[in-house]
């Protein structure tokens, strides 16, 4: 597994944030407009729901990528720790053998 995809995070993170801010600003403006008809308001709510779902999907995909990268990193760290313990044990054995001879 490759390390954390920082390039993808840095590339898509600002776009997701900008989209979320735009959605929030748009919905805040629309929420104060009480002169709209119920059908118009319902249509806007449906559109907002779709936009929110799209943002949540993008966030979930990024979280999944981060989780997979973290799991791969965890496996590498465990292997490095095992290798370090084995190397330390061999070093102790080598020192003991060197001192006894």
Q: From first to last of its 101 residues, what are the pLDDT tens digits of the chain?
A: 556 666 666 677 777 777 777 877 777 666 666 677 888 888 888 988 898 898 888 888 888 888 888 999 999 999 999 999 999 999 999 999 999 97
**DSSP letters spanning the chain:** -----HHHHHHHHHHHHHHHHHHHHHHHHHHH---S-HHHHHHHHHHHHHHHHHHHHHHHHHHHHHHHHHHHHHHHHHHHHHHHHHHHHHHHHHHHHHHH-
Q: Give me the domain span that covers residue 88.
A: 6-100
* 13 in a structural domain: yes
Q: Is residue 46 part of a domain?
A: yes
Q: Is residue 1 part of a domain?
A: no
- 61 part of a folded domain: yes
Record the tokens describing residue 56, joined without a space.
Answer: 């949540």
pTM: 0.52
Q: Is residue 79 part of a domain?
A: yes
Asked whether residue 23 is assigned to any structural domain, the reply reads yes
| Number of domains forming the structure of the chain | 1
Determine, yes or no, domain membership for 78: yes
Q: Is residue 51 included in any domain, yes or no?
A: yes
């Amino acid at each position: 597994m490759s390390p954390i995809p920082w390039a993808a995070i840095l590339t898509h993170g600002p776009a997701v944030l900008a989209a979320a801010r735009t959605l929030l600003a748009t919905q805040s403006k629309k929420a104060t407009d009480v002169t709209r008809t119920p059908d118009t308001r319902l249509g806007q709510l449906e559109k907002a729901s779709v936009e929110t779902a799209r943002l949540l999907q993008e966030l979930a995909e990024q979280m999944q990528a981060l989780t997979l990268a973290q799991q791969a990193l965890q496996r590498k760290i465990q292997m490095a720790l095992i290798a370090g313990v084995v190397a330390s044990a061999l070093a102790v054995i080598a020192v003991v053998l060197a001192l006894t001879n």
